[in-house]
Structure 1
Amino acid sequence: MKKKSVTLLGFVMILMLSMSLSACGSSGGSDDSASSGGGTDTTGTSSGGSTGSGTELSGKITFLTNRTDMIGKEYDDYVKRFNEKYPNIKVEFEGSQTDYNQQAKVRMAGDELPDVMFIPTIPNSDLPKYFAPLDDLGLDDKITFKDFRSYEGKVYGITTGNSTSGIVYNKKAFADAGITEIPKTWDEFLAACEKLKQKGIVPLASNFKDKWPLNNWVYDLPRLIENNADFPNAKLNTDTPFTMDNGYGKAFSLIRELNEKGYLEKDINSTNWEQSKKDVASGKFAMYFLGNWVINQVVGAGTTSDNVGFFPLPYDNSGTLRAALSPDFFYAVSKNSKNVDAAKAFVKWMIEDSGYEDFAGFIPPLKDKESKLAQLKEFQATGVELQEGTPDDATVTDILNKAQIDLPAMVQEFVLAKDPQSVLDKWNKAWAKAKKDLGK
């Protein structure tokens, strides 16, 4: 995949012009006869993709979701509207109460997959083992990041929406602390944090204990610091991929510095994700470093949209602002589902008709849709460059798994260690051994 850096305005234009955001490539045909119950049109559509009545499809499907907050609320409305088109399909939701990625992998190992789920971190080469191709939905030419979860020309996952990472902040908290301008350098960002701290406001909610909220620090930021979207795959060329002077060490050191200066939660080992949204909404906490998807969740936790802003994290003092453009979770359908056709119909409906991307604050997964999120205009006005992410090389994933390297867990260890270099040494050793054992 070729690295791209574009302005957010350019990104929206790309969507409107229906140009591909991900690497170009053939989607290939889809021969689903083995996995979708005979190779029939799985969504009640014609070969041209026009929707049918849906009355011929029936069955019960289960969707494993990380959005437990939507069960009994928005999801109920989705099912009601979905059933207007597909009255004979019953949809049930199963919420992941723990680490979604880990829970999904456990389910995969036990061959107990739900009908619809999000793809966990597995190599693309493993996708055909678990999931049905989705090329017959008529969406291949319409979706962004089409090749991200594809294998041998077939699409197995469709992004729920796209995000760019940055600082989501409470405007009133900034004003109360006397911050009148958005920080454009790391030193300015630290100065803003100090003003917030002196005002009794927690500068940044890290949700350190929950681990997954650290993802941007370990997946997005190292690429941005190196100005190389493919930087994570460069690990293949070395036995010491984690050093203080490369993207990993520099990114890890930034959050370590914030903790050392008292700019994170008072006790980072007892943070609470759901409570943090209320705290950012109220102004008790000032900022998140997360994707634009969290903006609507902060608003929903007790504030108004015009009190929530969004700007790129200035991770150095160069004055150049970059942010990652990444897909979020990818919908997938279990190839062993008893109702593959019904499950595929639900995925297509979620992409085209649910409006989930607006509720979740995502940049839409369909190229011809424009984001309705007002905060992206503020983000765009900074002149930020968006760097499109690339998927990890399958060999990188194999080595990481063999070495049992969990990057968010690594940054937790790095931040708390008396000697952070020893943490890098430990995992470099594990990486080198796994790389050698696998003959890579």
Structure 2
Amino acid sequence: MKRTRPARLSLLLALLVVAGCARPPAAVQPKADPVTLKYMHMGVASDGRDRNRYVMQAFPNLVEERYPDIRIKTEMLPEDAYTKSLLMQLSAGEGPDFFEWWPMRQLEELAGAGYLQDLTGMDILQAFSPEALRGFTVDGRVYGLPKGFSMMGAWYNKDLLQRHGYREWPGDWDSFLELCETLKREGITPIVMPGKDWWFLQFGLYPLAGSVIYPEEPDFDQQLLTGNATFADSKWRDVLHMFKLLYDRGYIAPGSLETGAAQAAAWFNEGRAAIVFGGNWDYDSLTVSEGSDSEPGLGSDSDSDPVAPAGSASSAAAFERGFMPLPGNAPGKPLYLSVGPAGGTVISKNTRNLPEVLDALAYQFEAESPLRGEFRRQYRAFPMSPGEDLGIAEFAGYADLMRSGRFVAFSNQAWPVGVAEAMCAGFQDWLAGEGDADAILAAMDRELLRAR
């Protein structure tokens, strides 16, 4: 069962930069009144229905209430279509006034192409801690406004674990395997994993890599980029085998490659599986109670999975949830968390409405504004502002561990585009009975070589 690999963004970007050189931005036109700002955001539902109330409703409506002369027109697209459409527009000197983008390596590519406004020194940056801004900084210049920090880990059913003798979350890999074996032996599905879409596999792999690779090789990703390391000669082989072990032992519910985000969320919320891997972005889909208007879907905007069982995140069973790291560390070795800068908002260099864009975004990050409250409710990101407390009980234990300072960014944030896709698509093939860890590592090295 071969999986189609997504087109490589870096190649597309390179072609568009060349094409864009032949067509300068159009001349600045007089502004109309009111000003309409174009905003792009990835993640529209696959069935065409809006599943992001904040982006489509709260943000434009509350900005208009605050600034009657500003209108915001939002466009949402699935991730692949979003990236291609956006880059085509930017290369032509057009596109939205502002849009959502990813930090670190992918931000560097857009900043290097000259597509982003340099925000260095602007007053709006005072709303963020230096740590939060780091993911949107290139060569000392700031090009974006972060949502905060995102964390990967395991959502789990606390009540179910306690009934089977586990009052504390396992602190190392051996203990985690023991927990899964106990649950399986007692007729409980330990883990449900949506493997239908490749990107969900990252939620199991990066947390394991955090404790297996980076404690001894903190500069591993930099060594990859300089040609001083390869995936084939690294501990990524161990990480891939550790994750595959969960499937081989039957700890992950069968049919993973046909399981979508909504189905996995429903299984967990109905108490049919004890654990699901994900992140803080899954808060609404995995904690909502009966009658909630929050949108279902594990780390996704789609709830159109045709094989999802009856019920959804809005019919969640009443049990206590927890969220803790997936422990990849050996007994007695330190546990490292998988925590990275969240995506954020960047402003196009082509915008003719920079003051209005800055007004709208500053209102979003104003401490006591109603828009700020809606923003925090939607994204559940770790705080970006100095001294801010997230205030969510399910994340308290994870936050305590973060204070140890032992965490590493998501691996793909330092990799060229295409490497993570090769890893996850290759893992899907492995689950389907084709290929193995060596084939995956070779594919990752090929993508890395193309990007150098």
8 A Cα contact 1:57 1:86, kept in partner: no
2:196 aligned partner, one-letter code: K
Deviation (angstroms), 1:108: 0.6
Q: Report the Cα offset of residue 148 of structure 1.
A: 1.9
Give the alignment partner of residue 238 of structure 2, picking from 250, 253, 271: 250
Task: Quote the offset at 1:79 in angstroms.
Answer: 3.1
1:157 aligns with 2:170: no
Partner of 2:424: 408
DSSP 3-state at the match of 2:351: coil
Q: Is 1:236 paired with 2:225? A: yes
1:317 maps to 330
| Alpha-carbon distance, 1:192 to partner | 1.6
Aligned counterpart for 1:167 among listed residues 131, 154, 178: 154
Identity of aligned residues (%): 20
Q: Could you list the per-position Cα deviations for residues 189-216 of structure 1 after superposition, in whole angstroms to 9, with x for gaps in the alignment?
A: 1122223334444322321221222223
Partner SS state of residue 209, structure 1: coil
- Residue 260 of structure 1, CA deviation: 0.9
TM-aligned CA distance change 1:57 to 1:335, over 3 Å:
farther
Match of 2:278, SS? strand
Aligned residue for 1:166, secondary structure, equals strand
Check conservation: 2:225, 2:448, Cα contact below 8 A.
no
Q: Write the distance in 1 (CA, Å) between the matches of 2:268 and 2:448.
A: 41
Q: Distance in 2 between matches of 1:216 and 1:393?
A: 11
1:364-403 mapped onto 2 (5 Å cutoff) = 364-380=383-399, 385-389=404-408, 397=416
Q: Distance in 1 between matches of 2:99 and 2:287?
A: 27
1:139 to 113, 117, 124: 124
Question: 1:131 touches 1:335 (CA, 8 Å); kept in 2?
Answer: yes
Kindly provide the amino acid, as one letter, of the partner of residue 100 in structure 2. Answer: F
How many residues are treated as equivalent by the alignment?
381
Equivalent position amino acid for 2:398 in 1: F
Please report the TM-score for the alignment, with normalisation by the length of structure 2. 0.72
Q: 1:126 aligns with which of 100, 103, 110?
A: 110
Shift of 1:371: 1.1
**Equivalence for 2:62:** 81
Counterparts of 1:244 and 1:413, CA distance in 2 = 21
User: How far apart, CA to CA, are the structure 2 residues paired with 1:318 and 1:392?
Assistant: 23
| Comparing 280-289 and 226-235, the one that deviates more | 226-235
Residue 93 of structure 1, aligned match among 49, 74, 90? 74
The 3-state SS of whatever aligns with 2:124 is: coil
Counterpart pick for 2:274 among 255, 267, 286: 286
Give ranges in structure 1 of 5+ residues lacking alignment. Answer: 1-33, 39-55
The alpha-carbon distance between structure 1 residues 221 and 321, as it changes in their structure 2 partners (threshold 3 A), is same
Gaps of 5+ in 2: 1-23, 289-312
The CA RMSD measured in Å over matched residues stands at 3.7
Q: Point out the more displaced range, 102-111 or 358-367.
A: 102-111
The letter for the 1-side match of 2:133 is K
Q: In structure 1, how many angstroms separate the alpha carbons of the residues matched to 2:275 and 2:191?
A: 5
Which of 299, 316, 321 is equivalent to 1:308? 321
Tell me the CA shift for residue 262 of structure 1.
1.4
1:274 aligns with 2:289: no
Shift in CA distance, 217/180, structure 1 to aligned 2, threshold 3 Å: closer
3-state secondary structure, aligned to 2:277? strand
Report the secondary structure of 2:114's partner residue. Answer: helix
Counterpart residue number, 1:104? 83
Distance 1:360 1:106 in 2: 24
Q: Secondary structure at the match of 1:313?
A: coil
- 8 Å CA contact 1:165–1:290 kept in 2: the answer is yes
| Deviation of the 1:157 alpha carbon | 1.4
Shift of 1:165: 2.2
Pairing partner for 1:214 from 169, 193, 201: 201
Deviations 1:143-177 (A, max 9, x none): 14313222344321121121222221122332454
CA displacement 1:347-392 (0-9 Å, x = unmatched): 3333334232344221122223211111222234568744454698
Tell me the TM-score normalised to structure 1 length.
0.73
Moved more, 264-273 or 355-364: 355-364
State how far apart, in whole Å, the 2-side matches of 1:433 and 1:327 are. 26
